[in-house]
Amino acid sequence: MPQTSGRRIKTRSLLRKKVRERGIKPPSYLLQDYRPGDRVVLKYDPSVHKGMPHRRFYGKIGTVIGKRGRAYIIKVVDGDKTKTLIARPEHLKRL
């Protein structure tokens, strides 16, 4: 069989919730407000597909630069380069 391609390729265990984490999360995690300069960890919520960055950035630490609509602009160092990501607050956790 040919290998499929897509944004969530090879993420069977990475983007899966644990048994006791399943279900609806409380709305308080959506109401988190991040200011420019805050440091955040990119920990994705696999039940929300919208606003999820690429899987290579999972677990990385970034700095909030600004806000774009509901999402936040985050600066992440990837190797020797600085990359700019756009992620929704469901996929961020305060450091």
Q: Where are the domains of the chain?
A: 34-94
Q: Is 31's pLDDT higher than 90?
A: no
At 41-52, the pLDDT tens digits run 999 988 888 999
Residues 90/45, Cβ–Cβ less than 8 Å: yes
Q: Which of 60, 58, 48, 55 is nearest to 8 (CA)?
A: 55
Q: What is the DSSP letter of 4?
A: P
Does 2.30.30.70 match the CATH number of domain 34-94? Answer: yes
Any residues with CB less than 8 A from the CB of 54 and at least 6 apart, and which?
7
The Cα-based distances of 81 to 66, 76, 91, 93 in angstroms read 19, 8, 22, 23
Amino acid 4: pLDDT:
82
Amino acid 83: pLDDT:
97
Integer Cα distance of 47 and 29 in angstroms: 14
